[in-house]
Amino acid sequence: MPKSLPYEAQMDIKSALEHDVSTDVIAKRFGVHQNTVINYAK
């Protein structure tokens, strides 16, 4: 099973999504796959 991101990183991703930052930019910023960001958007 893959490791989950630290809570702070999860909250930062969700905050960026709320501010309409694109998923590819967020993925590059946090070093995760774009699908990971999309999962946090749900």
Residue at 36 is within a domain: yes
The answer to whether residue 1 is domain-embedded is no
Count: domains in the chain: 1
Instruction: Dump pLDDT digits (tens) for 4-41.
Output: 899 999 999 999 999 999 999 999 999 999 999 999 99
Range of the domain at 37: 7-41
DSSP codes of every residue in 1-42:
-PPPPPHHHHHHHHHHHHTT--HHHHHHHHT--HHHHHHHH-
Is 2 a member of any domain? Answer: no
Q: Is residue 17 part of a domain?
A: yes
Looking at residue 27, its pLDDT comes to 98
Please tell me the predicted confidence (pLDDT) of residue 2: 75
